[in-house]
Structure 1
Amino acid sequence: MTPTIGGTRTRGRPARRRRSLLDRIRVFQRPEPQARPWHGRPDEAYRVLEDARAVLAQGWIQNRWFVSGPAPAACLVGAVVHAARQGGPGDPAVKAGPALDYLWDAWQESRGLGGAGIAAWAAPRELRMARVRDLTRWNDQRGRTREEVLGLVDLAASRAIMAAVRGG
């Protein structure tokens, strides 16, 4: 039997189909990670933001994340991380993530740089860390007030509520 391509048997085995160049290249490509929506997470982000607001109302600080003692206080990001830790089992960084995304989007909106953003989508770790640095710098800016910080938390919480009402 003459070897052929396309399914004719050669020596008791099916002949291999010849792969195109594109098929051969795809073998070496890693699939791009797809961002997934945080289905069901806006309500969790809202709870973290509300708990963070309570921490900030009790005591807000700059140039540090936390101060414990008789008068505990936290910066914006520190309050979110603290609220996520208090919210039950699970990795606090993962639980704080959506709330931090809503905060960053609200900060962008307050600066006139876009609208709702991508808070409903899972942000890659590197992007979220950059956002944490942005929010920390914003919190620590000279002249910043507790009222401005609480206002940003309120804006982010309202965006999380709207997303929850829309269904994610």
Structure 2
Amino acid sequence: MRARESLRTPTVPDYSPAPDEPRDVRLRQLDRVRDALEQARAVIARDGWTSGAWFTVESSSGARQAAPSEAYALLDPRSTVVSACLVGTLLRLADDPDRATSVRDVRACVDELYEATHEQMGHSPRPAGRSFPVTEQRARLQAVTAWNDAPGRTREQVLDVLDRAISRTIVAACS
């Protein structure tokens, strides 16, 4: 009996934090959203941005917009993409196994981008970090996509909206 007890490994103490408080959960989610938005901003600033399709790819005749049928295969971060639209960039981040960004984070990013575009147009935005029903999230995704693809849209405008969305998450975390 003593021999068996001496061979047991000691119990590892539980250092996990106490159950999450609602405020801690909210702050953690805001931090994840801010991080995903900052990553998207860095990718667009470094690699460029596209309008009218999720992705621009290299072909034998030069760069071309990827067809909708190619889009899901191009979400893989190992695929060769020249540039991506705002939503395409976020989706590639969520598909990257080396990043912590999740699809839930991308949905929250789209919500913040939607509010940032309204803020940019002079409308009063809703508070950051709110959750919305799936039907409203789809409508917001379509609105952000339409905003991205608007004629005359520039990369600088896209970076500005990303900066506004990032600022929204920072301000919400501080309040």
**So what's the TM-score if we normalise by structure 1?**
0.68
Q: Is the 8 A contact 2:94 2:100 kept in 1?
A: no
- Give the equivalent residue in structure 2 for 1:160: 169
Residues 1:81 and 2:91 aligned together: yes
Whole-angstrom CA distance in 1 between matches of 2:149 and 2:85: 8
1:75 is matched by which residue type in structure 2?
C
2:55 is matched by which residue type in structure 1?
F
Q: Is the 8 A contact 2:128 2:168 kept in 1?
A: no
Whole-angstrom CA distance in 2 between matches of 1:88 and 1:56: 16
Residues 1:107 and 2:117 aligned together: yes
Q: Percent identity?
A: 35
Query: Secondary structure of the equivalent of 2:107?
Result: helix
Q: Is the 8 A contact 1:60 1:75 kept in 2?
A: yes
Residues 1:52 and 2:62 aligned together: no
How many residues are paired up? Answer: 129
Instruction: Report 1:77-156 matches (<5 A).
Output: 77-86=87-96, 88=99, 92-115=102-125, 117-156=126-165
Deviation at 1:72, TM superposition (A): 2.3
2:169 is matched by which residue type in structure 1?
A
Whole-angstrom CA distance in 2 between matches of 1:52 and 1:42: 15
Whole-angstrom CA distance in 1 between matches of 2:167 and 2:152: 25
Deviation at 1:76, TM superposition (A): 1.0
Whole-angstrom CA distance in 1 between matches of 2:38 and 2:173: 15
Gaps of 5+ in 1: 1-35
Query: Secondary structure of the equivalent of 1:41?
Result: helix
Deviation at 1:157, TM superposition (A): 0.4
Query: Given the alignment, which residue of 50, 58, 62 partners 2:51?
Result: 62
- Give the equivalent residue in structure 1 for 2:63: none
Gaps of 5+ in 2: 1-21, 59-79
